[in-house]
């Protein structure tokens, strides 16, 4: 640099006075921009230290993380609670609920279970026999979680809890009806 002179008075690094075990060193200061950056990190570290727990008054990253997780958890809908068997049975004899359920059924279920529940790819839903149980709870559960390995999709996530109950009520109301082209019974007979 221009302001540095060596021992012979010319330009170049200056030799420092001291000597240790015959070793002498040049005066090579760090460049200004480097020193500024370094000083900046020191200042930043002090500010940072006072912003985190437990040293400073900040909450700290673990508490921040937990707060964010709690907010996210609060945004998640609670797992839909299952309706009581008695409520489903009552709905099965409630004309309005059954009609709503039939609409859901015709949109999502008829392609596999037939337009009147007589069965196509899926089993007959109007007879007394059930592969996965014919109690209101069992029927609701089969519709909710499906039987993926056998081609019955789970519906709990794609239907609202209301639609779930209504379509279950509709399926329960099919018992004893006579579909036009019924599939033979499968599974065990269920007596309410």
Q: Measure the CA–CA gap between 80 and 164, rounded to whole angstroms.
A: 10
Task: Give the ranges where 16-135 is alpha helix by DSSP (H).
Answer: 32-49, 61-75, 85-92, 95-108, 110-113
Q: Segment contacting ligand HEC (CB under 6 A): 55-63, 90-98, 109-117, 175-183?
A: 109-117
**Helix (H/G/I), strand (E/B), else coil: 113:** helix
Nearer to ligand HEC, 28 or 111 (CB): 111
Contact 159, 104 (CB under 8 A): yes
Nearer to ligand HEC, 118 or 123 (CB): 123
Q: Measure the CA–CA gap between 167 and 121, rounded to whole angstroms.
A: 18
x/- track of binding to ligand HEC for residues 116-155 (CB under 6 A): -----xxx-x----xxx------x--xx---x--xxxx-x
Nearer to ligand HEC, 91 or 109 (CB): 109
**Site residues (CB under 6 A) for ligand HEC?**
105, 108-109, 111-113, 121-123, 125, 130-132, 139, 142-143, 147, 150-153, 155, 167, 171, 186-187
């Amino acid at each position: 640099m221009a302001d540095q002179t060596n021992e012979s008075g010319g330009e170049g690094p200056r030799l420092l006075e001291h000597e240790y075990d015959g070793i002498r060193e040049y005066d090579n200061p760090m460049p200004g921009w480097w020193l500024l950056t370094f000083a900046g990190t020191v200042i930043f570290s002090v500010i940072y230290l006072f912003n985190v727990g437990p040293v400073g008054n900040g909450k700290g990253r673990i508490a921040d993380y937990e707060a964010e997780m709690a907010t996210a958890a609060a945004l998640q809908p609670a797992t839909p609670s299952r309706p009581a068997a008695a409520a489903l049975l009552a709905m099965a004899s409630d004309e309005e609920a059954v009609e709503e359920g039939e609409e859901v059924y015709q949109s999502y279920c008829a392609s596999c279970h037939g337009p009147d529940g007589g069965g196509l790819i899926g089993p007959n839903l109007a007879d007394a026999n059930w592969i996965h149980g014919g109690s209101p709870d069992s029927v609701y559960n089969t519709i909710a979680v499906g039987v993926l390995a056998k081609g019955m999709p789970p519906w709990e996530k794609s239907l609202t809890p209301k639609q779930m109950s209504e379509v279950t009520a509709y399926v329960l109301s099919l018992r004893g009806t006579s579909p036009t082209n019924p599939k033979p019974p499968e599974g065990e007979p269920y007596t309410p």
